[in-house]
Amino acid sequence: MKATMMNTLGLTRSRIAQRHALITPDSHEMVTLPDWAGAGLVHLVTPQTGAGFSLFLARAQDALCVSQCGAMHERFVLVRDGQVGIDTQCGRKTLHKDDYAFLPAGYAHTLSADAGAELLVLERPYVPKADTPAPAAHFAAIGAVPSAPLKGDARLQVQKLLPEGPEWDMEINTMTFEPGASLPYVETHFMEHGLVMLDGGGIYRLEDDWYPVTAGDTIWMGAYCPQWFGAIGRENARYLIYKNWNRDPLPRA
């Protein structure tokens, strides 16, 4: 989570547009907030951009102890470094690097970590489905999740980090591109995305703009933002990507 300062004063790769944003480490600003006492936070995507979720980095500066985020909000946590404990009514789970947890709305829990631990956190309002129970808490490790080719292209592998079913209102996946691999077409749809580059890099098209991206960069893509990615370089490109999912775009009473 270290910011990379650009050599030339007044320059940044970050760009903010009406339906997309690229947030790069050279413009990260760390803050502290009462609900995350003991942590420094870098907010990457928030409702102020137009998003329906909040995505941020948290670095434990002292002993960290954080409670659930609200009765109507669900939380996804990915450990980027160090060790994180999650205490619930079912006991304690200890997460290490690349372990993750989904904590449903209203699920009582406490996050704790020693100084130096780093987390990537996504929080959003849960969108319930009538006559369907809410999803259960889910704990796993990225390395234990099987991958599958996207649309038959073995050079582009997808890991689905969350279970599937009508109770789930979002997806969080990783996508891994071999050098030269790309999305098969420009996507345009009603879902929005939050994306964090984990490894490698390439070129991302967002609307009519083309951006070089690399590990540490974050992207927000609003609804109907045309989007496409191609991997460039000598190593695989991999990113974590969120989207709202499994709910009709027309809210039902």
- Phi and psi angles of residue 177, each rounded to the nearest 5 degrees, phi first: -115, 125
pLDDT band at 251 (very low <50, low <70, confident <90, very high): confident
> For the chain, first and last CA: distance in Å?
42
Q: What is the mean pLDDT of residues 163-177?
A: 98
pLDDT band at 7 (very low <50, low <70, confident <90, very high): low
Domains and CATH numbers, the chain: 28-143 (2.60.120.10), 144-244 (2.60.120.10)
User: Residue 193's beta-bridge partner residues?
Assistant: 221, 243
Q: What is the mean pLDDT of residues 174-195?
A: 98
Task: Tally the residues of the chain.
Answer: 253
Share the mean pLDDT of the chain. Answer: 95
Which residues lie below 8 Å from residue 150, measured CB to CB, with a gap of 6+?
156, 157, 158, 175, 183, 184
Task: Confirm if 219 and 20 have CB atoms less than 8 A apart.
Answer: yes
pLDDT digits (tens, 9 = 90+) for 98-150: 999 999 999 999 999 999 999 999 999 999 999 999 999 999 999 999 999 99
pLDDT band at 70 (very low <50, low <70, confident <90, very high): confident
Alpha carbon 251 to its chain's center: 24
Q: What distance in Å separates the CA atoms of residue 188 and residue 192, rounded to the nearest whole number?
A: 10
Task: Confirm if 84 and 97 have CB atoms less than 8 A apart.
Answer: no
pLDDT band at 6 (very low <50, low <70, confident <90, very high): low
Q: Check residue 140 and give its pLDDT.
A: 98
